[in-house]
């Protein structure tokens, strides 16, 4: 069964040993970010930072790069804090989060 996901068009900052860069995301799930097919690709492991529209809450975590059966490039979160996972879940399941409300850390489920 596929994990629930939400469109996610915010830049993902990638800490690269050879120079930092931005990755283009397409979707977010509670455990990963799915990259846009035209995105630059990171190394197999690393650290990323990302945030949400109209919100100052920044999530920073390590990841593993996975290539799915559908040929998607997935950044699987590692060492994600529980409050960060809950914040991502709120973003995914709040259908009005992008248009009517602003996400706030204190509003986490």
Are 49 and 32 in contact by the 8 Å Cβ rule? The answer is no
6-51 confidence digits (pLDDT tens): 899 888 999 877 778 899 999 999 999 999 988 988 887 889 999 9
The domain locations on the chain are 6-98
> What gap in Å lies between CA 8 and CA 24, rounded to an integer?
9
Q: May I ask the CATH architecture of the domain 6-98?
A: Beta Barrel (2.40)
Q: String of b and e for 1-37 (b: at least 16 CB within 10 Å)? A: eeeeebebeeebbbeeeeeeeebebbbbbbebbbbee
pLDDT in tens, 47-86: 999 998 888 889 999 999 998 877 789 999 999 999 999 9
């Amino acid at each position: 069964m596929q994990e629930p996901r939400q469109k996610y068009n915010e830049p993902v900052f990638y800490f690269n040993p050879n120079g930092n860069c931005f990755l283009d995301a397409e979707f977010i799930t509670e455990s990963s970010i799915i990259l846009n097919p035209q995105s630059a690709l990171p190394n197999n492991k690393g650290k990323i930072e990302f945030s949400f529209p109209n919100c100052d809450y920044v999530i920073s975590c390590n990841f593993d790069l996975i290539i799915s059966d559908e040929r998607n490039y997935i950044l699987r979160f590692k060492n994600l804090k529980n409050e960060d996972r809950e914040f991502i879940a709120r973003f995914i399941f709040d259908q009005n989060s992008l248009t009517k409300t602003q996400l706030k850390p204190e509003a986490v489920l």
